[in-house]
Chains A and B, each alone.
Chain A
Amino acid sequence: MRKTANQKAWFFVLPVVSLVAFNAIVPLMTVVNYSVQETFGDNVFFWAGVQWFEQVLRSDRFHAALLRQLMFTGTILAIEIPLGLVIALAMPRKGPWVSVCLVLMALPLLIPWNVVGAMWNILALPDIGLLGYGVNALGFEYNYTRQPGSAWATVIVMDVWHWTSLVVLLCYAGLMSIPDAYYQAAKVDGARPWAVFRYIQLPKLKRVLTIAILLRFMDSFMVYTEAVVLTGGGPGNSTTFLSIDLVKIALGQFDLGPAAAMSIVYFLIVLTMSWIFYTLMMRNEEI
């Protein structure tokens, strides 16, 4: 559609534009500013060029954090997307249980992130937490404050618990929009459940799944609060993801230049990966 000659509409966009400017553009430019300069405080700046970027990109610490981040995101996507899809498929389509299921599914999404972290922190304590105690009682050695393996498992289980619902709700909405006639036709054609899934449900869910993967990718790549509250990035650096590392550098060590450069690299990674995902998923899309 072509825009009309009436330019008044811009007036209504103005508040949002100014909000976004203060919210995103100004801070971002500040970060860009920091990333190319050296400062020792007192508003004294020296031009540093791409020095910080080189330092960040060459540092083993950044590589390790990025690797942990990729592993974390990959793992939770590999679990949450199929699991969410399966749960959505298993949910009732009509009857009184629909609303019960929907409310149950929505619950984890309503809990603030730091509360989620705190909940799991207590739940998983090996001595008094129900989960931690239970797992140890079953004969597994489990202590997330000491063993990296335990910490990883806990962070992942927590994320799955917190966010699979989102995938479920998206998929469920997508499934509900498939007309009954498709299922009837499939029955008549003698399609088995797998074929119904493969040739009707999956194609019709493609757009919804794309959105779900994108959202979960972006969110999990920037995971911070829950993980910090639960493990504080430890034990050691074992669950120090990119965002946690960034905060440690910026606020812990007050290395503003490298932190700013890292922020920008981080931002570009998320942007590029999202774009690649989107293009790949929509490649064969027909209208």
Chain B
Amino acid sequence: MAKITLQDLRHSYRGNPRNDDDWALKRLTLEWRDGGAYALLGPSGCGKTTLLNIISGLIRPSEGRILFDGIDVTDATPELRNIAQVFQFPVVYDTLTVYDNLAFPLRNRGVGEAEVDRIVRQIAAMLDLESTLTQRASGLSADGKQKISLGRGLVRSDVNVIMFDEPLTVIDPHLKWQLRSKLKELHHRIGRTMIYVTHDQTEALTFADEVTVMKDGMIVQTGTPVDLFERPRHVFVGHFIGSPGMNVLRCEVKGGKALVAGQPVESVNAGRYRGAGAGLQLGVRPEFVKFASDGIAVDVVKVADAGRHRIVETRLGDEVVNMLQPEDEAVPQGRAHLRFDPAHTQIYEDGWIVD
């Protein structure tokens, strides 16, 4: 187990990068504590896979260093780093039984058979694989195979970190819930550092204690799921996390007060704004918008049933304001008035939150 430090990492797949676009990773520094559950979240092409490969040692970064417990491993081979990895598509040794698959990393390291047996049975029990131990791994379903991949990482006590590369891609929704809560439970029980790479906000937020959101090779924000949800530092985080994402509306700030479509709106940080008022936006999540008897006048244009709540799409001029309405509450038709929760309404300048 180890603390992982990424120092001023930069990476380019081109020989001599000239402009910003040539960098797949644009200088990032990050620290992951020992034993934590972390997630790297971002859309495809944001650099998260590059970062993952740098950590596991498959790519050497163009610049910067990686430290495990303060020791520089930038040039260490993947074998030396002791990292376990669960891939998007299950990787199992087809000809071996489930038992032999789990025993494989131990036997490769010359662990005695009695010890192998003890550990394999213990891990199999944790993963609910006991009943399949004597079966061939190739005959298992996708979620069973993913458990084996994970199990091969868990059997070793010398693993520094377990990395997950979109591990639930090929799993059905029902089993996703099971496997995800299993992961969370395992992390709680064995307390090993885990890094989860995904484009799926639900997976990232439910799994990790701390999520790093990436875009275009940069870290946009690192924080707890609640931080990212309630105080997104950039409108991209507001949009990318949450379903539907944060409403982002044009606004002005005059004398410390925010105005949306000419109407005053209370916010957390308008008072702190000192600039001239160009490129300002107001962000508020659908969860923090309510119907009210007065307030911002909008037109209700669409109501979508999402089961436990309804997603109401309203229009404010040419802009869309989404809101969530609980299952049993009525949705007004036509003209309506909205109120934004002042504690969760923020002002952004050029995309970044006003501080």
Please classify the interface of chain B as helix (H, G, I), strand (E, B), loop, or mixed, using the class held by over half of its residues.
Answer: mixed
User: Provided the pairs A184-B78, A188-B84 are in contact, do residues A199 and B95 lie with their beta carbons within 8 angstroms?
Assistant: yes
Q: Enumerate chain A residues within 8 angstroms of B136, measured Cβ to Cβ.
A: 286
- The answer to whether B78 touches A185, judged by C-beta atoms less than 8 angstroms apart, is no
Compute the total of residue contacts between A and B using a CB distance below 8 Å. 54
Q: Is the CB of B91 within 8 A of A190?
A: no
Q: Is A189 a contact of B94 with CB atoms below 8 Å?
A: no
Q: For the complex, count residues of B whose C-beta is within 8 A of A.
A: 26
Q: Which residues of B contact A190 (CB under 8 A)?
A: 79, 105, 108-109
Report A222-262 CB contacts with B as 1/0, cut-off 8 Å.
Answer: 00000000000000000000000000000000000000000
A13 to B83, CA, bound (A): 56
B139 near A189 with CB under 8 A, answer no
Per-position 1/0 for B34-57, Cβ under 8 A of A = 000000000000000000000010
B4 to chain A, nearest CB (A): 16
Judge if A187 is at the interface, Cβ distance under 8 Å.
yes
Q: Is the CB of B87 within 8 A of A191?
A: no
Complex: A201 Cα to B121 Cα, angstroms: 28
Those of B149-188 within 8 Å (CB) of chain A: 149, 152-153
Contact check, A189 vs B89: say whether CB atoms are below 8 A apart: no
Choose among B105, B138, B153 the residue with the greatest number of A CB atoms under 10 Å from its CB. B105
Chain A positions near chain B (C-beta within 8 angstroms): 179, 181-182, 184-185, 187-192, 195, 199-200, 203-204, 286
Chain B residues with a Cβ under 8 A of chain A: 56, 58, 77-79, 83-85, 87-89, 91, 93-96, 104-105, 108-109, 136, 138-139, 149, 152-153
Closest 9 CB pairs of A and B: A189-B105, A190-B108, A181-B87, A185-B91, A199-B93, A203-B95, A187-B78, A181-B91, A203-B94
Return 30 A-B CB contacts under 8 Å, by A number.
Answer: A181-B87, A182-B91, A184-B58, A184-B78, A184-B87, A185-B85, A185-B87, A185-B91, A185-B149, A185-B152, A187-B77, A187-B78, A187-B79, A188-B56, A188-B79, A188-B83, A188-B152, A188-B153, A189-B104, A189-B105, A189-B108, A190-B79, A190-B105, A191-B104, A192-B108, A195-B104, A199-B96, A203-B94, A204-B94, A286-B136
